[in-house]
Amino acid sequence: MTISRRKAISMSAKTLAGLSLTGLAVKSQQLAAQTQNQQDWPSTLVERPLRNGFPAPLPLNPDGSAPEHAESEAGAITNPRMWRTEGRQTPDIDFDYQNMKIKVDTRGLATKTGTLHFSDLEQLPIRSHTFLLQCGAPNPRGIVKWTGVRFSDFADMLGLIPEAHYCRFVASDRFYMDEPMETLRHPQVMLVWLMNDDPIPPERGAPLRLIIPFRYGNRSIKAITEMTFATPGPRMPPLPA
């Protein structure tokens, strides 16, 4: 069937008008929801119940360190998997720890800077410890045997000066956090690549993750891609393109 040019233009105009009306309707709904949220927000400070079961108890030794568990207690971590991605999906990266390439920017605060490879870490004393990983919420949690190196040994390998106060860690999902060197140099803090004697599964933070067993699990950042050392807290990394 042949359609005249005039009719085609008329149909296109109607289609555009329909799309415009649809866009206006969606925008109107969004504005209505925003207005409703503003109306629901209290105009003064009010009493609200605390989140049920949060934070979950974090058992610690009297000195603030994490209790060491027997290897026989080690097992799986319960869900959910706390990725900061759409659908909580594990980012698609190279999960083989032997292929790791992690940006380490010491900003003139150490004698070494550049790209960290597994061959750098395997020169350090390898250690295994079994700790409880506990998030603020009741899940995920689990007693896990971690194998890797002490962060303090890694810091010494870099030749960090005492005036380096913080390290910013950036994960493959662009989640980031800052930790003071005083915390990171605690003897229980580790950079690990094995979980229960096997390579860390992708959903649990391969190829390399930080373990701070005396803090809640979100501080044990997964799938590290960058480490930046600084004196003040460094700027927030840009959003991915």
Per-residue pLDDT of 178-188, as tens digits, reads: 999 999 999 99
State how far the Cα of 124 lies from the Cα of 165, in Å rounded to an integer: 23
d(CA 200, CA 141): 16
Query: What residue numbers bound the domain in which 116 lies?
Result: 71-230
Residues 109 and 35 in one domain: no
Asked if residue 79 and residue 33 are part of one domain, the reply reads no
- Decide if 75 is inside a domain: yes
Q: pLDDT higher for 15 or 235? A: 235
**Cis-peptide, bond into residue 55, ω within 30° of zero:** yes
- Say if 87 falls within a structural domain: yes
* Per-residue pLDDT tens over the stretch 201-234: 999 999 999 999 999 998 999 999 999 999 976 6
| Residue 111 and residue 225 share a domain | yes
Q: Write down the pLDDT at residue 207.
A: 98
The pTM for the full model equals: 0.79
What total number of domains does the chain contain? 2
Specify the pLDDT at position 37: 58
User: Among 2-11, 94-103, 114-123, 200-209, where is mean pLDDT lowest?
Assistant: 2-11
Residue pLDDT, tens place only, 121-165: 999 999 999 999 998 877 778 999 999 999 999 999 999 999 999
Q: What number of other Cβ atoms are within 10 A of residue 4's Cβ? A: 8
228 vs 171: CA distance, rounded Å:
12
In a domain, 241, yes or no: no
In a domain, 171, yes or no: yes
